[in-house]
Amino acid sequence: MFAAGAIALLLALALALVRAILGPTVFDRLQAANTVGTVAMMMLAMLGFLNGRPEFLDLALVYGLLNIVGTIAVLKYFRHGDLGDPGEHVEKQP
Amino acid sequence: MSMLVDVLSWVCIVAGGIFCVIGAIGLVRMPDFYTRMHAASITDTIGAGLLLFGMMLQAGFTLIAVKLVMIGLLLLFANPTATHALAKAARARGLQPLLASGDDSSKP
Amino acid sequence: MLHLASLGVVLYAFWILLSGYFEPFLLSAGAGSALAVVLLAWRMKIVDREGHPIQMIASVVLYWPWLIKEIAKSAWDVSKIIIDPNLPISPVLVRFKPTQRSQVGLATHANSITLTPGTITVEATQDEFLVHGLTRAAGAGVIDSEMDRRVSKVEGYR
């Protein structure tokens, strides 16, 4: 049963990679990378069940955190050209 | 009873896999960036959610299930933030969304 | 003070659940880490009604099942659109004014909209949300929606 889920995830991974290669803008590629990250997270959890090694769930958790931080970091770099930019603080509501 | 749980988790994992593939198909098929995000959010929410639920049913009441719940919460809180950041950055960069024709006049 | 204490308890519970070991050394290491994080958060002055909203916990737990039901419903609709060979989409941008007053409420509302497939919050400010909808119906569905009312109730100002 886990093998069926894993195969479906691999298919989704391949399709997301197609978008990452085609994607005309950088945002398309980032969205594809984000999807690849989510699918990889699920894949890690699946692998843990498939091999009977639940430690893989910790890896999935860390991978998810890195995925979010990575997306935001690349986005910020493309938006402001600097990772240390304060960003949106000027328009914060009082 | 355990048979029933097994069947239910089977159904959840297969359905979750199907939804993940549907979301990825949408990611390839949709015409522009903003519509692609909608397809990706299917993979992120219901696909991943059903897979996690199916795995939770297999794990039972253990620490493994707790970790799966944490992965689910992480997805639930962090993914919309990343999606919103992407959409906002794309709009700030001047990427215009493809809109349906006659948008203003024919609002329902 | 109450917020700091509850943050510490939550962090320590998080440590124990993640580690799963109950040896004295690891338990005390967890307590030390939780305390260090609480101290850092206190120095950053982010532990208040907004950064650690314990007043919302009870109502938010009641809100989640409804949100999951909504996600399932609209995910089904969007899946049907994706599988349809004609791809019957009609993307729209809609603007509307949310009724939430606090930043937490606004963030909850914006995240709920983005989490529901078919609608994505592009801009979120106090006065105006700009939402991209995959279809006209999905776009029109976010204006003065039930979600808006429910999040306002969760927020707890009325």
Cα dihedral sign, C81-C82-C86-C89: positive
| Pair B86, A26: CB distance under 8 Å | no
Give me the mean pLDDT over the A36-55 stretch. 89
In whole angstroms, give the CA distance from residue A58 to residue B6.
24
Bridge partners for B38 per DSSP: none
pLDDT in tens, C86-123: 888 888 888 888 888 888 888 888 999 999 988 999 88
Closest-CA distance, B71 to chain A, in angstroms, reads 6
The closest CB to that of A9, out of B17, B74, B86, belongs to B17
Residue A92 pLDDT class (50, 70, 90 cuts):
very low
Pairing of strands C129-133, C119-124: antiparallel
Instruction: Grade residue A41 by pLDDT with cuts at 50, 70 and 90.
Output: very high
Residue type, A72: I
Judge whether residue A88 has pLDDT over 70. Answer: no
What is the C-alpha radius of gyration for chain C, rounded to an integer number of angstroms?
Answer: 20
Q: Please report which confidence band the pLDDT of residue A86 belongs to, taking 50, 70 and 90 as the band edges.
A: low
Is pLDDT larger for residue C157 or for residue C67? Answer: C67
Share of chain C above pLDDT 90, in %: 21
Helices A2-22 and B2-29 cross at an angle (nearest 10°) of 10
pLDDT bracket for residue A1 (50, 70, 90): confident
Residue B85 has pLDDT above 60, yes or no: yes
A53 to chain B, minimum CA–CA distance in Å?
10
Cβ of A78 within 8 Å of Cβ of B89? The answer is yes
Domain boundaries, chain B: 2-91
Sheet-wide strand order for C92-96 = C92-96, C129-133, C119-124
> What per-residue confidence (pLDDT) applies to B49?
92
C130 vs B contacts (CB less than 8 Å): 91
Which chains have 3 or more CB–CB distances shorter than 8 Å to chain A? B, C
Q: Nearest-CA residue of chain B relative to C73?
A: B46
In whole angstroms, give the CA distance from residue B83 to residue B91. 12
pLDDT on residue B12: 92
Nearest Cα of chain A lies from the Cα of B104 at a distance, in angstroms, of 27
> Are the Cβ atoms of A93 and C18 closer than 8 angstroms?
no
Question: How many helices (H) does chain B have, and how many strands (E)?
Answer: 4, 0
Q: Are C110 and C129 in contact (CB under 8 A)?
A: yes
Supply the pLDDT for residue B50. 92
Neighbours of A50 (CB within 10 A): 15
Listed residue (A42, A21, A45) closest to A33, CA to CA: A21
Q: What is the pLDDT of residue B51?
A: 92
Q: For residue B21, what is the nearest residue in chain A, using CA coordinates?
A: A12
Share of chain A above pLDDT 70, in %: 85
* Over residues B19-32, mean pLDDT: 90
Chains meeting B at 3+ CB pairs closer than 8 A? Answer: A, C
Residue A87 pLDDT grade (very low, low, confident, very high; cuts 50, 70, 90): low
Question: Is pLDDT at B26 greater than 50 in this prediction?
Answer: yes
Q: Which pLDDT score, from 0 to 100, does residue C34 have?
A: 93
Determine the angle formed by the axes of helices B63-92 and B48-59, rounding to 10 degrees. 170
- Report whether pLDDT(A19) > 80: yes
Say whether A93 and C103 touch across the interface (CB within 8 A). Answer: yes
Burial class (CB in 10 A: 0-12, 13-18, 19+), A29: middle
For B53-75, write each residue's pLDDT tens digit: 999 998 888 888 888 999 999 98
Q: pLDDT at residue B102 above 60?
A: no
Position of tokens 């109502």?
C59
What's the first-to-final CA gap in chain A, in angstroms?
A: 53
Return the top range by mean pLDDT from A78-82, B1-5, B92-96, C117-121.
C117-121
Alpha helices in chain C, H assignment, sequence order: 2-19, 24-44, 57-83, 103-115, 136-140, 146-155
